[in-house]
């Protein structure tokens, strides 16, 4: 009896689930937005994940449903659950990844550390928040933002005037999220896997380096994050997974402040860019772990296989004709680098792959990974 795992969304996260699914004897199926997407190797149906009938029909042929992204609408998710489909993570958890205001309120209920925040419906409220927080703050649209989109640092309420205008046109009303501009030393990410039956596995906390709002580099584990910082990251990660009822992989993005507090920045309830290093640097990579978790199978070891791992994203450049030449150059110069490509047409700034290097010394891993990724520039 093979467990059939349906993945909604045909991007690189679905693509990277396929290989571990096959090794474990699970049967992956993908509902992609269009044909020819990254995950097109698996049995692929093409359809719109906003459409309840499309998703229900796809779900009837699988044993467990999971996701490449968090965008499936709540009514569709609720209809799946009502139809008896095993959905992981479920709608009750996913709502917190879909709506940043819901997330902030829930984390506050749980007493978890986060930046000061407020829900603002009018420019006056935003200005009041700015006045109370040194004149600058981060404004976010609660829904639909990713990779820096839907996020704006403002020093006057007028800078969010267009978003307020859009709110007033929305029949549902709604509010914007405003957060204090955290004086952070660096950004960390804590990954946790959780099974429906409750078992939890915790990965080492990592440091993430963002460029232009996009994850550029991950160092694992986060340098110097032993003892209190690692313990606190683990505590917060487990508390979010349990408190929000997350099943599958969870990534908690954290600010480490200059006074050594950890504050929750964002959540992702799926395999996450901050965990790509686990493919080559941990006994159980995040894609295998996500499959184990959503299928409610025993979780694998999260022990690293090397002292240090460094992951660098490969972004598409202006010219793509020489992509193969660049790949060959990276392979030739960096035989220790693990190169992962997503089968995507390169466009400027688009993530088209990543490189990881695991090594005994951090400087070796970082040098090699950066040099291999630079071959694609």
Is there binding between residue 82 and its own copies (CB under 8 A)? no
Long-range contacts made by residues 318-323, C-beta under 8 angstroms, separation at least 24? 318/348, 320/345, 320/346, 323/376
Are 269 and 89 in contact by the 8 Å Cβ rule? The answer is yes
Binding flag, residue 23, its own copies (CB under 8 A): yes
Give the number of other Cβ atoms within 10 Å of residue 155's Cβ.
12
Number of residues that bind its own copies (CB under 8 A): 37
Query: Phi, psi (5° rounding) for residue 258?
Result: -65, -20
Cα separation, 357 vs 340, in Å, equals: 11
Single residue of 18, 94, 157, 263 touching its own copies by CB under 8 A:
18
By the rule CB under 8 A, 353 interacts with its own copies: yes
Binding track, positions 245-284, relative to its own copies; x by CB under 8 A: --------------------------------------xx
Residue of 298, 345, 349, 363 interacting with its own copies (CB under 8 A):
298
Ranges within 306-325 binding its own copies (CB under 8 A)? 306, 324
C-alpha distances in Å from residue 290, one per residue of 43, 120, 163, 277, 287: 19, 36, 35, 15, 5
Task: Choose one: 76-84, 110-118, 224-232, 298-306; the region binding its own copies (CB under 8 A).
Answer: 298-306
Helix (H, G, I), strand (E, B) or coil at 50: coil
- Provide, rounded to whole angstroms, the least separation between the CB of residue 297 and its own copies: 6
Question: And the tokens for 174?
Answer: 């709604």
What's the token pair of residue 350?
Answer: 């688009």
Shortest CB 332 distance to its own copies, Å: 4
Listed ranges 102-110, 161-169, 225-233, 294-302: which one lies at the site for its own copies (CB under 8 A): 294-302
- C-beta separation of 289 from 300 below 8 A: yes
From first CA to last CA, the distance across the chain in angstroms is: 46
Residues within window 327-346 making contact with its own copies, judged by CB under 8 A: 327-328, 331-332, 335-336, 338-341, 343
**Contact status: 106 vs its own copies (CB under 8 A):** no
| In the complex, minimum distance from the CB of residue 330 to its own copies, in angstroms, rounded to a whole number | 9
Local structure of 106: helix, strand or coil:
helix
Question: Six-digit token pair at 216?
Answer: 């550029």
Q: Does residue number 119 form part of the binding site for its own copies (CB under 8 A)?
A: no
Judged by CB under 8 A, the stretch of 18-26, 67-75, 173-181, 238-246 that binds its own copies is 18-26
Residue with tokens 């992509």: 323
CB-nearer residue toward its own copies: 29 or 104: 29
Q: How far apart are CA 79 and CA 91, in angstroms?
A: 10
Q: Which residues bind its own copies (CB under 8 A)?
A: 1-3, 15, 18-19, 22-25, 41-42, 283-284, 292, 297-301, 303, 305-306, 324, 327-328, 331-332, 335-336, 338-341, 343, 353, 358
């Amino acid at each position: 009896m093979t467990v059939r795992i349906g993945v909604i969304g045909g991007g690189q996260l679905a693509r990277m689930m396929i290989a571990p699914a096959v090794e474990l004897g699970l049967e992956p199926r993908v509902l992609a937005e269009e044909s020819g997407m990254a995950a097109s190797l698996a049995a692929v149906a093409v359809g719109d994940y906003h459409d309840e009938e499309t998703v229900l029909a796809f779900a009837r042929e699988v044993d467990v449903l999971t996701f490449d992204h968090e965008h499936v609408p709540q009514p569709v998710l609720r209809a799946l659950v009502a139809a008896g489909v095993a959905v992981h993570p479920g709608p009750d958890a996913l709502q917190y990844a879909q709506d940043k205001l819901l997330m902030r309120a829930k984390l506050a209920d749980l007493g978890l550390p986060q930046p000061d925040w407020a829900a603002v419906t009018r420019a006056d409220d935003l200005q009041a928040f700015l006045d109370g927080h040194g004149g600058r703050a981060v404004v976010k649209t609660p829904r639909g933002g990713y990779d820096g989109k839907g996020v704006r640092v403002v020093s006057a309420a007028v800078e969010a005037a267009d978003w307020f205008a859009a709110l007033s046109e929305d029949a549902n009303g709604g509010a914007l999220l405003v957060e204090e501009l955290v004086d952070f030393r660096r950004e960390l990410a804590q990954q946790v896997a959780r099974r429906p039956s409750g078992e939890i596995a915790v990965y080492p906390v990592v440091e993430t380096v963002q460029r232009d709002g996009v994850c550029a580099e991950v160092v694992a584990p986060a340098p110097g994050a032993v003892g209190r910082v690692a313990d606190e990251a683990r505590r917060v990660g487990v508390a979010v997974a349990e408190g929000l009822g997350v099943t599958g992989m969870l990534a908690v993005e954290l600010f480490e402040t200059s006074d050594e507090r950890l504050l929750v920045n964002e959540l992702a309830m799926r395999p996450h860019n901050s965990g790509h290093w686990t493919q080559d640097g941990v006994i159980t990579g995040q894609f295998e772990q996500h499959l184990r978790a959503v299928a409610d199978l025993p979780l694998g070891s999260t022990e690293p296989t090397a002292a240090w791992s460094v992951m660098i994203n490969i972004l598409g450049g202006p010219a793509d004709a020489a992509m193969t030449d660049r790949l060959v150059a990276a392979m030739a110069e960096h035989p220790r680098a693990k190169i992962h490509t997503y089968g995507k047409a390169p466009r400027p700034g688009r993530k088209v792959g990543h490189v990881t290097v695991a090594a005994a010394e951090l400087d070796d891993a970082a040098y090699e990974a950066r040099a291999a990724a630079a071959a694609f520039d």
